[in-house]
Each structure stands twice: as structure tokens, then as C-alpha cells.
Amino acid sequence: MKSIFVLTASALVTLFACKSCATIPRGAVAVRPFDTEKYLGRWYEIARMDFRFERNLNNTTAEYTLNKDGSIKVDNRGFNYVTGEWKQAIGKARPAGVPDEGRLKVSFFGPFYSPYNVIALDDDYQYALIAGKNLKYLWILSRQTTIPDETRLQYLKTARDLGYDTSALIWVSHDKSK
């Protein structure tokens, strides 16, 4: 009986973990085709919805590099303007859908993954709009520390059309380098 309980509990945890990786906000569609190789490299966070792991951070970047096993190393960095210290988090990402779709699952905490959905991306892979699993998670990224107004306005419209409260976005400063 004990082994049945453990097996059932393990199955439920696995089901929940897989379900949470495969989510995308209602109405959002991940970019397709998506070229992981072109997406690799450094991205600057232009704006984000606030959440505890990035609270009080500016100068935030994400660096994506390919690991030998085919997964993607995720190196997030930011400057905590309250403590005056740099913060870094290393994680990994894997495709969450079909390989040519802009849906990844990202983990910074062992077996627990979160959805990372590229829902807008220019042809040159210079600007990206990223949705998490629901309307609490949104990022605007750029290869540079700024983004053209036209792209910014289009991404904000896309987010608002999906139901995001874009007035809650935190606009990130990039005034320090490490």
C-alpha cells in the first residue's frame, strides 16, 4: 500500500511539473519558426513584471549558451540597487514544445521548470517579448540596452491585447557594467 501511495504521489508531482512547463497565457502563441542557435547570446532586460527573484535589480542581462548535452545554459545577472551587490543565477533551459517553436522550460532549482514563451521576435533576433505561464510574468528583451520606440510600442500592444497590465512593467536601467 505504501508503494502505491509513493507511486501515485510521484505521478502527480510529475504531472504537475510537466503541466506547469507547458503553459502559456490564453491567446498567446509562441514564435514559429524559432531558431535556438540564433537566440543564443546576451540579451538585456528592457522591462519586466516584478517578481521576487528579480526584485530591486537593474542592469539585468541573460546570457544563453549551448551545453554539450543540448540544453541551454542560462546565466542571469543583475545589480541590486538596494544592497549595492551584483546577483547571479545559473540555470538551464530545454525545448518545451516542438524544436522550432519558441517555447522553452527553464530551471534554476533542480527538477522544477518554469515556462519561457517567446511570443514576439524580430527577424534579426534583436528584440524579444517573453511570456511566462500566466499574466504575472512578462519580459521585453533586446540585444542592446535600448529598444526602438516602434518595437516597444508594438510589444506593449501585444501584451495589452493578451490581458497584461503593462502599467505594472518595471523599466530597467542599464547604467553599470560588471
Percent of the chain with pLDDT over 70: 87
Average pLDDT over residues 100-107: 96
Alpha helices in 22-101 (DSSP H): 36-39
Q: Beta 41-49 vs 103-109: how paired, if at all? A: unpaired
**CA–CA separation, 64 vs 77, rounded Å?**
12
2-171 maps to CATH 2.40.128.20:
yes
Query: What would the mean pLDDT of 62-75 be, rounded to a whole number?
Result: 96
DSSP 3-state assignment of 30?
coil
According to DSSP, the residues that pair with 130 across neighbouring strands are: 118, 139
Question: Residue 43: what residue type?
Answer: W
pLDDT at residue 14, as a whole number: 43
Main-chain dihedrals φ then ψ at residue 9, nearest 5 degrees: -60, -45
| Mean per-residue pLDDT of the chain | 89
Q: Are strands 57-66 and 72-80 parallel, antiparallel or unpaired?
A: antiparallel
Q: Is the pLDDT of residue 46 over 90?
A: yes
Q: State the Cα–Cα distance between residues 31 and 129, nearest whole angstrom.
A: 10
pLDDT of residue 49: 97
Q: HSE (CB half, 13 Å, CA atoms) of 7?
A: 4
Residue 87: closest CA among 75, 103, 69: 75
pLDDT at position 17 over 90: no
